[in-house]
Homo-oligomer: A and B are copies of this chain.
């Protein structure tokens, strides 16, 4: 059963070449020799328990991270102590790039459930980017994608109603599941209602009520964190 072992996302021994997620976190046009070079600098961590921090805001920036399994949230804490969730990270996604600017992380990153992450020391990545131009390009693109994602969220917060915000988040999760060859219509939300509300600039109560309304309109079936999307067209219409 060694081939199954190699594909299990919790297995710390699996290398980038065999990792299920490599189509998501690596540039497509990478030769196997180059993948091997990358493999050498990537540190595959042991699985982290729920609520364990990967790093804390203020810590020295050393690495960016890729989610191998489970899910992670990033959040900042403002001067007056309140939390702002800035992102949810699913398998195959990269996080930690906010730390590059000032050599310290501005976010904290926390496992929302048992999760495994790959650590990629940034100084080694920079060196390797000089040898492998497509890797440099890839990281510029990843960071740019993070910028456009954040700008979508800005628009969402600035212009959209509670229902539109929740619908947009659900479609985002759905699409990211599809990318991972999972169902886009039946999935489990890894985050709490509080995290959803915090991320979307809403209170827990409002999130709960929106889920309630969506169920009454036969848009969704919600059972705790399990979601089934019943009407994508209406959901997309809402999310616009």
Interface residues of A (CB under 8 A from B): 76, 78-80, 82, 84, 86, 97-102, 106-107, 126, 129-130, 133, 136-137, 139-148, 150-151, 153-155, 157-159, 198, 200-201, 240
Considering the complex, give the chain B residue whose CB is closest to the CB of A125.
B140
Sample of 18 A–B contacts (CB below 8 Å): A76-B151, A79-B240, A84-B151, A84-B154, A84-B158, A84-B159, A97-B143, A97-B144, A98-B148, A101-B147, A102-B145, A102-B148, A126-B133, A136-B136, A150-B151, A150-B154, A153-B154, A154-B157
The answer to whether A136 touches B143, judged by C-beta atoms less than 8 angstroms apart, is no
16 new A-B contacts at CB < 8 Å, known A102-B145, A129-B136: A76-B151, A82-B159, A84-B159, A97-B144, A100-B140, A100-B144, A101-B142, A101-B147, A106-B148, A106-B151, A130-B130, A130-B133, A136-B136, A143-B143, A147-B147, A158-B198
Give Cα A98–Cα B154 distance, bound, in whole angstroms.
14
Known: A100-B140, A143-B144. A158 touches B159 (CB 8 A): no
Give Cα A159–Cα B84 distance, bound, in whole angstroms.
8
Pick from A76, A78, A136, A140 the residue with the most CB of B within 10 Å. A140
The answer to whether A141 touches B86, judged by C-beta atoms less than 8 angstroms apart, is no
Contacts of A136 in B (CB 8 A): 126, 129-130, 136
The answer to whether A201 touches B157, judged by C-beta atoms less than 8 angstroms apart, is yes
Q: Pick the contact of A201 from B133, B151, B159 — CB < 8 Å?
A: B159
Q: Secondary structure at chain A's binding surface: helix, strand, loop or mixed? A: helix
Q: Pick the contact of A107 from B133, B145, B151 — CB < 8 Å?
A: B151
Give Cα A145–Cα B201 distance, bound, in whole angstroms.
22
Q: Pick the contact of A143 from B79, B106, B147 — CB < 8 Å?
A: B147
| A178 vs chain B, min Cβ distance (A) | 18
The answer to whether B137 touches A140, judged by C-beta atoms less than 8 angstroms apart, is no
Contacts of A76 in B (CB 8 A): 151, 155
Give Cα A174–Cα B84 distance, bound, in whole angstroms.
25
Contacts of A157 in B (CB 8 A): 154, 157-158, 201
Contacts of A97 in B (CB 8 A): 143-144, 147
